[in-house]
Amino acid sequence: MIQFLSSDLWPSIMHAAKSAKDKRVAVAYFTQGYLGLSEGDILITDASHGAIASGQTSAHKLAKLFNDGVKIYSCIALHAKVLVLDGVVFVSSANLSESSESDGGLIEAGVLTESEPVRRAALAFIDQLKQKSTLVNQPFITEIEAIEVKRTWRPGLKGANKGITPIDDERQQFWILYTVPTEDPSDPAERRLIAKGEKTARALMENPKRRPDRVQWPSSSKIAKESKQNEVIIIIAGQDNRTGHASVEFHARLLHKESSDSGKLTYLYYEPSTDRHKKDLRWTEFKSLAKRAGFDASRTKTTLTKRQSEFLAENWGSVRMK
């Protein structure tokens, strides 16, 4: 499982930390003990003179953790933010600080994963960091607690992350469209409508210099009625899904929907994957992969499960003939 987190980053971290028995943490700055670190846990942070004096790391908070039996290391060059909480890994922009927490004034984002290879890599990263760090002992604590603190950094803007809504993976739908070539309409009004939709879609693209692609679908269809921005669509382009398709496009991002003047058609604008023609599959290749994902590609369907979509994405290149 992999999730992208934004305004839900801190609630997710707190939820994982609440039940975690083993915590390995590397964050640049530390001023709050949100994770409930305790004896045997590891914290690597920047506890240098500069970080303490500027208020970016709290000597008194570190002293409390030290007395609780947490193994603390100071790494002056640390800028990463990596949390391993039992089997869950967070890699994000967030420090353990008041300004980084849910409404602390900074807009944070990160990724949560339960991937075992990623967890092992994160633990290895933390182990290597320990070799580059200074183990905090009682004389170290005494020294940093004596440093005069004068905040030289700005905490951000209160409520800055309001309005940033994470994608709900559980409510997302994953679409698969069997398409045939269509010609642009001759009606000038309809052409202007298509151009307007393209302009809206282009503004939402990762690279606005590129053009979005477009398919048209009946407005009465499920995808026209239910699909939402940022959902995944897989385009199968060709004439007949039994006799062969020209190509199957890799996962694309739905950008925008525009209804035709007649109301009978809906134009779906999407952002094709980078280097899409290097990723396109032949129909036979896709059928083979679909079978491994648990569905028959020859039987027209409009939606995939999240698990099927993720399987296709992860194994897409494995069936592509060189």
Please compute the mean of the pLDDT values over residues 15-28 and round it to a whole number. Answer: 93
% of residues, the chain, pLDDT over 90? 55
Tell me the pTM. Answer: 0.68
Mean of all residue pLDDT scores within the chain: 87
Rg of the chain over CA atoms, in angstroms? 25
| Res 26: pLDDT | 96
Question: In which element (H, E) is residue 244 found?
Answer: strand 244-248
Task: Using pLDDT thresholds of 50, 70 and 90, give the confidence band for residue 298.
Answer: confident
Q: What is the pLDDT of residues 77-100, one digit of tens each?
A: 999 999 999 999 999 998 888 766
Helix (H, G, I), strand (E, B) or coil at 214: strand
- 178-214 burial, b at 16+ Cβ within 10 Å, e below that, comes to bbeeeeebeeeebeebbeebbeebbebbeeeeeebbb
Q: What angle do CA 55, 61, 16 make, to 5 degrees?
A: 110
Question: In which element (H, E) is residue 111 found?
Answer: strand 110-113
| Res 186: pLDDT | 87
Q: What is the pLDDT of residues 174-206, one digit of tens each?
A: 999 888 777 888 889 999 999 999 999 988 887
Residues 198, 178: Cα–Cα separation, whole Å: 21
Question: In which element (H, E) is residue 247 found?
Answer: strand 244-248
**305 φψ region: left (φ > 0), alpha (ψ -120 to 50), beta (else):** beta
Q: What is the pLDDT of residues 116-151, one digit of tens each?
A: 889 999 999 999 999 999 999 999 999 999 999 987
Which residues does residue 153 pair with via DSSP β-bridges, in sequence order?
none
Which residue from 92, 60, 98, 53 is spatially nearest to 76, judged by alpha carbons? 53
Q: What is the pLDDT of residues 161-175, one digit of tens each?
A: 565 666 666 678 899
Please report the beta strands in 120-243, taking only residues with DSSP state E, as ranges in sequence order.
134-135, 174-179, 213-218, 232-240
| Res 156: pLDDT | 58
Q: Which amino acid is present at 114?
A: E
| Res 97: pLDDT | 80
Could you tell me which residue, 230 or 275, shows the higher pLDDT?
230
